[in-house]
Chains A and B, each alone.
Chain A
Amino acid sequence: MIRLERRRRQSRAWALATPVLAVCATVATGMVMFALLGKDPVEAIRTIFWAPLFDPNLASYARPQILVKAAPLVLIAIGLSLGFRANIWNIGAEGQYIMGAIAGGATALALYPLDAWWIFPLMITAGIAGGVAWAMVPALLKIRFNANEILVSLMLVYVAEQLLASVSIGLLRNPDGIGFPGSRNLQHYESAANSELITGTGIHTGVIAAIAVALMVHALLRLHRLGFQIRLAGLSARSAAHSGANPKRLTAICLAAGGGLAGLAGIFELAGPAGQLTIDFNVGYGFTAIIVAFLGRLNPLGIVLAGLLMALTYIGGEMAQFMLNLPAAAIQAFQGMLLFFLLSMDFLSRFRIAFGTARIN
């Protein structure tokens, strides 16, 4: 007879092993999926995971791109992970990302063509503020009315998408754009551009910020009282209240952190890789970041690794799309599968599988 026995506490070894196992299982299942789509599974996996890193013709393009993709994923995922740890489920990061980009972008466009050093920092601040403001809606509704933050934050994604569509063909449209939709390209506005810091590496300010945020949040969780309270709130809300944490304050802080970092990611993306506000500016980073947060076990340093891996599947997926004609949706399904496997493997860290009947000591 096979039984599950609950472990007294999570096994640390399994907690580290499960993401690796989940990736392996996803790769195996992915190969079956690719085979069903009529592609050579080995070639597909090689193109996704190996080619971007080591193919002599592609790596020079792909490696910097991995950093460019990973930066927003890591920033957003770290913000979300704080909430997830405290049982506060912000899943509207996509909307907060959009609002960060709109707020920061609007600031820059309002100042165009002024040339000053303070424009970029001001944009960043506005971007963070945009994301925070958007996240404050579910926070306040939860605090005031006990409204479910999952649903409210998610609904606001659709609202933000409508706003984005509106401003990119209306308010913020490029006046010199001869009728094309989309704002001015910030890459061509030197004071506002988030350009590569070292040419050819893909490293822009957002990449540096992602690493800095990861280290800061790591320190916060291990050393600071607020981090302790966030961890405690996730384990037991009443214990957290007993230790002196104010649950409303924690809700506001965790949602603000998620929104602020998503907004930050949004403005870095807008001022750098994306360049202009268009109707399809957002590509789902806010949702993929949820996978990244779990894959990184809600640990800031784990999230950095998970973000890099997820960015690799994006770039590899693009290459597979280009070289093998693999549909883009296959990669999306592939990423979804990864989260499934991760969650299902997770039980290994919380339960022990026992065979036979209970031992009698």
Chain B
Amino acid sequence: MDLSSINPLLLIATMIAASMPIFFAAIGELVAEKSGVLNLGVEGMMIIGAVCGFVAAVETGSPIAGVFAAMLAGAALSLLFGLLTQLLHANQVATGLALTLFGLGLSALIGQSYAGIKPPSFPQIGFGTLSELPVIGALLFGYDALVYASAVLVVAVWWFLGRSRGGLALRAVGENQDAAHALGYRVVAIRMGAIVFGGACAGVGGAYLSLLRVPQWTEGATAGAGWIALALVVFSSWKPFRVVLGAFLFGGVTLLQLNLQAVGAEINPVYLSMAPYLVTIVALAAISGTGRGAHLGAPGSLGKPFHASG
């Protein structure tokens, strides 16, 4: 096998690109879970985002419009989840599963006539001569706009959760819903906001997949990325910057597998294709095994139904 054909700079750049879909999905889910909501429909929201983003980009010719469409589509689907779980008190686990099953079906339906089309390509951000600098140019200035947006997003989420009053209220609701209610915080409203934010992020993650990562539409394109994003939230112990790290690792594993297959490593490609899923399982077991619930940072009211009794 010839490892020298793998260019390290290119590898890092593509690793970042590979990590973007699960990053967006996971950071959104993190905010939702911090508010105490377990939305297992990430896969469904991602794939709806992927297909809506793709269709909108193709129809308007603008990939930016595609991203916004994906955001709206993901948010719309998550709103459905919010209505069912927060207002109608449906079981969160079952509703999340329904979201995924429905999303997979609906996306196939929407995308059926778009298979095999190439979407408009995403504009690179022009940094002028900066991006021509050796090493640093490729490493820092060679990405699409969404990569930079993701960096802004993670800082924003970190600041909001850790430093702002709104974020404090959101964490309070997720930590102890009854106490937050007793103090006068609007549990359902705050959670709805967090759910919709999570949906919008998952939608963007999906669009990244269909517009940038593999610029085409295929049925079931997310192939479990949404589920990996869910695992990533646990893996990151509900900390925003660790999501970045985790996404990068998972992205790296996915990519390494493709690269190794490309250079003809003498490993059965089946095992390589399994790698991202197996790594997720191992990471999940390792991180769950080390700590105790609260010390991992799991919100106290995660997944619990809330009904104001008085």
Contact = CB atoms under 8 A, between A and B. Distances in A.
Interface string A153-171: 0111111001101100000
B307 A4 contact: yes
B223 A343 contact: no
Nearest to B278: A159
Interface in A72-111: 84, 89, 91
B108 interface: yes
Interface stretch (B94-102, B141-149, B168-176, B178-186): B94-102
B224 A290 contact: no
Nearest to A293: B94
Contacts of A158: 223-224, 274, 277
Contacts of A159: 274, 277-278
A141 B223 CA distance: 23
A208 interface: no
Contacts, number: 141
Nearest to A165: B270
A165 B268 CA distance: 12
B262 interface: no
Interface residues of A, number: 50
Given A151-B231, A337-B102, A156 B307 contact: no
A146 B289 contact: yes
A335 B105 contact: yes
Given A6-B307, A327-B112, A146 B273 contact: no
B104 A336 contact: yes
B106 interface: yes
Interface stretch (A237-245, A251-259, A263-271, A344-352): A344-352
A334 interface: yes
B284 A152 contact: yes
A145 interface: yes
Nearest to A140: B285
B230 A347 contact: no
A120 interface: no
Interface string B266-310: 001010011001101100111011000000000000000001010
B88 interface: yes
A200 to B, nearest CB: 32
Given A155-B281, A336-B98, A340-B80, A147 B108 contact: no
B288 A148 contact: yes
Given A148-B284, A339-B98, A89 B109 contact: no
B221 to A, nearest CB: 13
A330 B109 contact: yes
B90 A343 contact: yes
Interface in A1-20: 4, 6
A24 interface: no
Contact of B105 (A4, A333, A343, A346): A333
B101 A339 contact: yes
B110 to A, nearest CB: 8
B109 A329 contact: yes
Nearest to A151: B231
B91 interface: yes
A333 B106 contact: yes
A287 interface: yes
A118 B51 CA distance: 50
B84 interface: yes
Given A166-B268, A336-B98, A336-B104, A151 B230 contact: yes
A287 B98 CA distance: 10
Give the 7 A-B CB pairs with smallest separation, nearest first: A336-B102, A332-B105, A329-B108, A145-B289, A333-B105, A166-B270, A329-B109
Interface of A: 4, 6, 37, 84, 89, 91, 137, 141, 144-148, 150-152, 154-159, 162-163, 165-166, 287-288, 290-291, 294, 327-337, 339-340, 343-344, 346-347, 350-351
Given A329-B112, A339-B102, A344-B84, 20 more contacts: A4-B307, A141-B281, A147-B281, A147-B288, A148-B231, A148-B234, A151-B227, A151-B281, A154-B227, A155-B231, A155-B278, A155-B281, A162-B274, A287-B101, A327-B109, A330-B109, A331-B105, A333-B109, A343-B98, A346-B91
